[in-house]
Amino acid sequence: MSQFNQGTLDSFNRGNKRLGAKILTTAATCIYSVPAGRYAQITAVYVTNVGGVAKDLYLFHVANGETAATTNAIYYGHSVNQNTEHVDDYPKTLQPGEGIWGYSNGASHLNVMVYGTLL
């Protein structure tokens, strides 16, 4: 994950849209799931810590029939400092029914937004 900057935000928002967003809890939850019969090109995942203390991010690319686990982790225990933003800008292609899931070690601190294009 790279440190957030306005140039990164501007470049990824052109031609893309927000596909999903959640404030993470301590239980794994789906942030975005690709609809049946479609594919999605994920271009950026933004993570903002809106809380007053650092929290750990657990983010997963969950395929059909899987659950969020270490075997499909994108980030596992990645510390996000208080009042900071991060962006994962490595493109990911998701198939129908696949999703981006996540949780944190503290509820109501990490806001995650998934941007991309539905194909």
b/e per residue 97-114 (b: at least 16 CB within 10 A): ebbbbbbbebeebbbbbb
Residues ≥6 apart with Cβ < 8 Å to 99: 30, 31, 32, 33, 34, 61, 62
Which domains, from first to last, does the chain contain? 2-118 (2.60.120.260)
**pLDDT tens profile 8-31:** 555 555 568 999 999 999 999 999
**Whether 104 contacts 29, CB under 8 Å:** no
Give me the pLDDT at residue 4, please: 46
**pLDDT tens profile 42-88:** 999 999 999 989 999 999 999 999 999 999 999 999 999 998 888 98
DSSP 25: -
